[in-house]
């Protein structure tokens, strides 16, 4: 093995090492099956997805990302769009929760997902910016991006 090759091998090994550490670090950016955003601190894990018709659906998964049915959870989404605030109510459809109305036009506005595990539990507020642009890295919409930026 000449020196150059040895250096290359070392560099490659370092790269793999860095990547592994990064991946472990980013467990909350786990790729959700439907390209949406994994909502933090939800159990079972909830995925927020803006559908093509701009309705929102919430899907649930076990820790190993197997689909599970919605049970007692309830969700309200508040979209703070340029055209004004919109509140979306949800109903159960199949195993998921689906919004009765659609997200306002445009994007780049703030969204609050009010998540209740049961009717009696305290609501959790999950805030993020709705960015519908497709990320060049992971090819998912930015609000569900799993890259490191
Ligand atoms: Zn990405």
Structural domains present in the chain: 31-144 (2.60.40)
Report CA(4)–ligand 1 centroid distance (Å): 33
Report CA(139)–ligand 1 centroid distance (Å): 6
pLDDT of residue 27 exceeding 60, the answer is no
If you average pLDDT over residues 106-130, what whole number do you get? 96
Of the candidates 102, 52, 47, which has an alpha carbon nearest to the alpha carbon of residue 79?
A: 102
| pTM for this model (two decimals) | 0.80
Q: Which pLDDT band holds residue 8 (cuts at 50, 70, 90)?
A: low
Contact 112, 104 (CB under 8 A): no
Report CA(71)–ligand 1 centroid distance (Å): 31
Report CA(70)–ligand 1 centroid distance (Å): 27
Mean pLDDT of the chain: 87
**pLDDT at residue 38, rounded to an integer:** 95
Q: Which pLDDT band holds residue 31 (cuts at 50, 70, 90)?
A: confident
Q: Which pLDDT band holds residue 145 (cuts at 50, 70, 90)?
A: very high
Of the candidates 133, 137, 125, which has an alpha carbon nearest to the alpha carbon of residue 50?
A: 133
What pairing do the DSSP bridges indicate for beta strands 124-129 and 45-50?
unpaired
If you average pLDDT over residues 110-131, what whole number do you get? 96
Report CA(137)–ligand 1 centroid distance (Å): 4
Contact 90, 100 (CB under 8 A): yes
Report CA(7)–ligand 1 centroid distance (Å): 30
Residue showing tokens 């209740």: 116
Of the candidates 117, 1, 3, 97, which has an alpha carbon nearest to the alpha carbon of residue 57?
A: 97
């Amino acid at each position: 093995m000449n020196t150059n090759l040895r250096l290359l091998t070392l560099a490659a090994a370092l790269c793999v090492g860095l990547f592994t550490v990064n991946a472990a670090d980013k467990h909350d950016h786990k790729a959700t099956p439907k390209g949406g955003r994994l909502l933090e601190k939800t159990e079972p894990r909830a995925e927020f997805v803006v559908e093509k018709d701009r309705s929102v659906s919430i899907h649930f998964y076990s820790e190993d990302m197997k689909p599970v049915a919605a049970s007692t959870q309830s969700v309200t989404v508040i979209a703070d769009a340029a055209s004004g605030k919109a509140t979306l109510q949800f109903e159960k459809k199949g195993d998921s929760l689906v919004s009765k109305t659609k997200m306002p036009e445009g994007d780049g506005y703030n969204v609050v997902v009010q998540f209740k595990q049961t009717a009696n539990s305290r609501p959790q507020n999950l805030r993020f910016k709705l960015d519908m642009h497709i990320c060049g890295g992971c090819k998912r919409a930015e609000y569900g991006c799993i890259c490191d930026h």
